Structure formats: structure tokens, C-alpha cells
């Protein structure tokens, strides 16, 4: 291969390896904003009080008494930031009563909760209890009842650095028309 051919091949390789600015021009600012807004909304939903990043526990309730707190003497052991004993859940079939431990501040809707019948998540308006950054409520799955625990100061939220994503590429944009399925 002579030197002119080699120079030509190297120049062509260099030109083809450069970013193709034509593709960037095809990305409208509105489309770019729409994609970035969707990603931001996804992150905001993960971080909000009802988001997935603050879930720190799920504990199934047994029939009868279910003591709970951070002490290993409890039937249900919460993370160490919780008081040693927060209280007791008494389960009688589908009725669940919360009784707080004396002098432990537990709130429901901003008011002190000492004894309260819990509404599960399937009611649409579950009873949410709180102690400092911890929030917990009753869930029903099948015939089982459990406590879902959130920590609004969870390490996962503090250390969250976002979601890795691919750059916006107009080749992945699909123009389509949504036609809903007519139910028979």
C-alpha cells in the first residue's frame, strides 16, 4: 500500500469515527424535554414518601400478639434506629389493633396514637403510623396481613445517584397510533 492510499484510508476512518451531528439535529428540543421530564418524574416517584427507595421492611403478622421494635426480644424486629419497643399489634382474624408502648411517640395523621384499629392498604386509605423518620402500615396479600415499613431517611435514598440510561437516539423513536381494544 503506497503512502497516498494509506493517508486516504486514515482520513476516511477519522471522518467516519467522528460524531454524526446530523442525528443530533433530528432530536427536537420538545422531544428531548419530554424524555428528560419522564426520567425526572421516574426518579421523583422513586424518592417520594410512597416511593420504592424508602422501603426497609416487610413483616408478616401472626394471629394474636405481635410485639415490635428494635430489640431482639420482640416478635417483629425493626431497624436499630427504632425504639427498643414501639408497641404491639394484636391480630384477631382480619381485625388488627395497634397499642403503643408507654412514652413512645407514635403518630397517626399528626396525632398521638396509643390504641387504634388499623385499616389495611386494600381499604384505599390505610392507617399510617410514624415514629421520627419511620412510617409503617398494614398490607393484605391474599389471606395474609403484614407490616410494610418505610424509612424516609433510608440509606438507599441518601446514596441514590440516579438511573443509568442510554443517550436519546431518534432511531428508537416509534411513531404509532394507539387504538384501544374494544372489550367484547
47-90 pLDDT, tens digit per residue, is 999 999 999 999 999 999 999 999 999 999 999 999 999 999 99
C-alpha distances out from residue 92 to 96, 98, 127, 146, Å? 6, 12, 17, 13
CATH number for 58-154 (one of 3.40.50.300, 3.90.870.10, 3.20.20.140, 2.60.200.20): it is 2.60.200.20
C-alpha distances out from residue 4 to 1, 10, 34, 43, Å? 8, 10, 48, 54
Q: Which of 130, 121, 126 shows the shortest CA–CA distance to 149? A: 130
C-alpha distances out from residue 184 to 50, 179, 181, Å? 36, 15, 9
Return the C-alpha torsion angle 7, 8, 9, 10, nearest 10.
50
pLDDT at 132 exceeding the cut of 60: yes
What b/e string do you get for 97-115 counting C-beta neighbours within 10 Å, with b at 16 or more? ebbbbeeeebebeeeebee
pLDDT at 160 exceeding the cut of 70: yes
Of 21-25, 28-32, 106-110, the poorest mean pLDDT is in 21-25
Contacting residues for 170 by C-beta, under 8 A, at least 6 apart:
23, 26, 27, 31
Contacting residues for 156 by C-beta, under 8 A, at least 6 apart:
53, 54
Mean pLDDT (the chain, rounded): 88
Q: Tell if the pTM clears 0.75, that is, is over it.
A: no
pLDDT at 11 exceeding the cut of 70: no
Domain ranges, ordered by start, for the chain:
58-154
Residue 18: its pLDDT value, please? 56
Please provide residue 8's backbone torsions phi and psi, each rounded to the nearest 5 degrees.
-60, -45
Residue 75: its pLDDT value, please? 96
Amino acid at each position: 500500500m503506497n503512502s497516498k492510499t494509506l493517508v486516504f484510508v486514515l482520513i476516511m476512518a477519522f471522518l467516519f469515527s467522528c460524531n454524526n451531528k446530523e442525528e443530533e439535529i433530528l432530536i427536537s428540543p420538545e422531544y428531548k424535554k419530554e424524555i428528560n421530564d419522564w426520567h425526572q418524574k421516574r426518579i421523583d416517584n422513586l424518592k417520594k414518601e410512597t416511593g420504592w427507595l424508602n422501603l426497609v421492611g416487610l413483616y408478616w403478622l401472626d394471629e394474636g400478639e405481635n410485639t415490635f421494635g428494635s430489640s431482639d426480644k420482640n416478635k417483629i424486629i425493626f431497624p436499630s434506629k427504632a425504639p427498643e419497643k414501639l408497641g404491639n399489634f394484636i391480630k384477631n382474624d382480619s381485625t388488627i389493633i395497634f397499642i403503643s408502648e408507654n412514652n413512645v411517640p407514635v403518630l397517626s395523621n399528626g396525632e398521638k396514637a396509643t390504641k387504634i384499629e388499623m385499616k389495611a392498604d386494600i381499604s384505599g386509605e390505610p392507617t399510617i403510623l410514624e415514629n421520627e423518620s419511620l412510617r409503617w402500615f398494614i398490607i393484605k396479600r391474599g389471606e395474609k396481613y403484614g407490616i410494610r415499613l418505610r424509612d424516609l431517611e433510608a440509606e438507599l435514598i441518601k446514596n441514590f445517584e440516579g438511573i443509568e440510561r442510554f443517550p436519546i437516539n431518534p432511531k428508537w423513536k416509534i411513531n404509532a397510533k394507539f387504538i384501544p381494544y374494544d372489550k367484547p
